[in-house]
Chains A and B, each alone.
Chain A
């Protein structure tokens, strides 16, 4: 009996149980395939070209830094507006800003093309207005396109992560500063901003790492003149078949990711200020002064232009017929049609690989649900472990972020080499897909939950215990309740990451379980207006599925938490 108790006490003290599952997952599904593939790569013939390292490394860092700063510049005001004000259409806009996150780059490229391309809606409109036959806006294949696309993808991270922390801030702190004579600006700079430092840095880190590992945006919107490390790994591994070089580039990318995360840990040290929680919706109000109204409407207009217009252009494109009309260039012949949707249900070529839209939706949703379950569980365990049983904290923190820096090509090949012949690869269900997605999704859950958890004053659980609550009840009623909003943010990101992921999926997916992005890609692989239209229709379905799922998840959370 005492042995059992002793073992239990040990487990409790060391937090081994908390650590076991997350670390096990990372060891088995990240480090094992990674080391397997890297050792395979270096054992193959090929040549290391040192000069081919510097250029992509410098460009990768430069564009990631610039993209992150821009995302913060536009994201922080938006986070403030979302956390402080109530306005018409707020919920809808919040869901819509999340949507770009799901889009496979091939669809984003098509969306920007439909809006800003040589014959995009805006160029066509401007050409009509000015009567000038040359296209006024040359957007695609430019550095600007890369930056805009990165802000388009990642602004949701800043809005969600910083916004949810901001809405948890006690307004009385700023009010007290005001009472003590500080100007609103001073109160913001010396009270609010320091309290928001952690979430801002958290968001900035995520955005930076995403931009650092950018692949599709660079390939499809930036064009051949730009090359990130991730793109270089792809060309070295799959075009030149130069595996040692691909391995070296992968290691450099991983090392940078580790270095940046460690640096972040260093900057982010210091005491966490415990914050007493706020009631839901407390302090959120309608904009009152004309200045507030102006800021709110400018933010809404900006987000609408950046996030909603490209998507709207794409949706419009899926119901518009734009046949290349003979002899009438420049004039766009439009006709509304539902043909593209109708044709999705027809296996025109009798292909064995035809997939019903509903089946692709079902596959995508199933992988996304599994990813959400795995990553919220693992991420929450990790957050508790890091807060309650800290252990080599900074290093582990960095290790968890490593999957961001692992090239999709390298990881995809790693999964194949490591798990070939195992039930995971050969079984009836492609488990590898949600597991691979969870590697990227877990850090999101951790980043969202950990600050919220760390900010809970210990006195709250202690009071619960004093009032007679069991440890379980105190955990469930106090801690879980208080992190539920953050947890939901993490779950939303997990779900959307999985829905839109294409890179690693394309390696490990099987042709009998195609996801929506895979189905979109199949249509885009062949010429013909119908194929293009069907790809747009499939992309619209992806957008709708995601919008619906997000709305449901948000509804569920407000139902669990009482009124919003």
Chain B
């Protein structure tokens, strides 16, 4: 009996040893770890530029979606896994600040950033980019049907955009599971107030609004202008999605197949921030990295990597953005503190009305 155990264990260990690469313990440059969400992306040469300038190795720790990544940082605040956290947005910001995971830092570059993004931050986190969550529509569908594109949230409750018997023309994401879904819910709360937004959603429900759990399903399964060719010609997505449709088209396009509704108070502006995690062993480098994220080099990289807008007005925008993407002139605005206090309550109330 013993023999076979020994042979099994030996075989196991030998195989494991053969498979595992030998760890390299060369004293290289210092490492700076940036914890972020799965949507984070950066050009190779931009990352390299920073690494070379400061003789540092950048490690990116992608930790799920915004909520997951932030929760991970909060859980690990006593023994932080990273030096910098990038990607907390204005719907989650107050929670992160309350939990005290960030070390204060005011970048000198912040002076160049418009007040819209820096107001009320009190030097804890630094705004990096923003994007508008807006309704995208299928241009061809609207052209063919002769129906006018809705110009306000109120329009969406009109019978013309609905189908009392079944599925209407709009698909939205569940705010409990999706970050654009939450942003759109906040836009409706900004427009109709805490007392009125549930009635608005009841009207949408009567009009046959379709609710799915995640952006992937909404966009790729239900939206008629995407590859899934679904049934709904309107979807809650980003104002930059039309530009992505052109850049990542399967054959060259001269026109975007989709467009965003950017009328006043129809979009919610998500602002993403970066902060230095308390307990970092490289506060100096972490500060330099925050400065770097605000510099034109990084800021100009942001649009095509993550399909969001840079906060630094000096950063030039790529041609595709100028032609096909849009920003809302008057996005819906809600105070992050009010969001932090009520977010969970709003989502639970919304679920009661929409999913039961």
Contact = CB atoms under 8 A, between A and B. Distances in A.
Contacts of B16: 370, 373-374
Interface stretch (A73-81, A160-168, A421-429, A543-551): A421-429
Contacts of A113: 220-221, 228
B17 to A, nearest CB: 11
A427 B70 CA distance: 24
Given A224-B176, A349-B305, A529 B227 contact: yes
Contacts of A325: 140
A352 interface: yes
A381 B248 contact: no
A12 B1 contact: yes
B76 A220 contact: no
Contacts of B107: none
Given A219-B213, A324-B229, A416-B72, A529 B39 contact: no
Contacts of A110: 220
A276 interface: no
A373 B15 contact: yes
A241 B95 contact: yes
Interface string B170-195: 00001011000000000000000000
Interface in B191-208: none
Interface in A85-131: 106, 109-110, 113, 117-119
A309 to B, nearest CB: 18
B104 interface: no
Contact of A141 (B75, B141, B212): B212
Interface string A213-245: 000000110011100000000110111111100
Interface stretch (B5-13, B127-135, B154-162, B269-277): B5-13
B221 A140 contact: yes
Interface string B13-26: 00110011111100
A506 interface: yes
B34 to A, nearest CB: 10
A529 B12 contact: no
A511 B217 contact: no
Given A377-B8, A476-B4, A527-B244, A337 B250 contact: yes
A366 interface: yes
A522 B305 CA distance: 12
Nearest to B232: A118
Given A237-B71, A350-B45, A373 B12 contact: yes
Interface stretch (A298-306, A326-334, A446-454): A326-334
Contact of B228 (A119, A420, A530): A119
Interface in B208-254: 210-214, 216-217, 219-222, 224-231, 237, 241, 244-245, 247-251
Interface string A381-425: 100000010000000000000000000000001001100110000
A17 interface: yes
A422 to B, nearest CB: 11
A219 B174 CA distance: 10
Nearest to A224: B174
Interface string B38-53: 1101111101000000
Residue of A324, A326, A388, A524 ringed by the most chain B CB atoms within 10 A:
A324
B68 interface: yes
A351 interface: yes
Nearest to A531: B248
Contacts of A312: none
Contacts of B307: 526-527
Nearest to A431: B20
Nearest to A514: B62
Contacts of B177: 219, 224, 234-235, 239
A340 B251 CA distance: 11
Contact of B64 (A117, A238, A532): A238
A471 interface: yes
A429 B8 CA distance: 23
A475 B216 contact: no
A17 B60 CA distance: 42
A40 B75 contact: yes
A413 to B, nearest CB: 6
Given A141-B212, A377-B12, A506-B64, A472 B3 contact: yes
A380 interface: yes
26 contacts: A11-B2, A118-B231, A141-B212, A224-B351, A235-B177, A237-B71, A239-B67, A239-B176, A241-B74, A321-B251, A323-B257, A324-B140, A324-B224, A327-B140, A329-B144, A349-B304, A350-B43, A351-B43, A352-B41, A352-B44, A428-B24, A431-B20, A506-B64, A525-B38, A525-B39, A528-B247
Interface of A: 8, 11-12, 17-18, 21, 40, 106, 109-110, 113, 117-119, 135, 140-141, 219-220, 223-225, 234-235, 237-243, 321-329, 332, 337, 339-340, 347-353, 366, 369-370, 373-374, 377, 380-381, 388, 413, 416-417, 420-421, 427-429, 431, 470-472, 475-476, 506-507, 510-511, 521-522, 524-533
Return the 5 tightest CB-CB contacts between A and B, nearest first. A528-B248, A119-B229, A532-B227, A326-B140, A530-B248
Interface of B: 1-5, 7-9, 11-12, 15-16, 19-24, 38-39, 41-45, 47, 60-65, 67-68, 70-72, 74-76, 79, 81, 95, 138-141, 143-144, 174, 176-177, 210-214, 216-217, 219-222, 224-231, 237, 241, 244-245, 247-251, 257-258, 304-305, 307, 344, 347, 351, 354-355
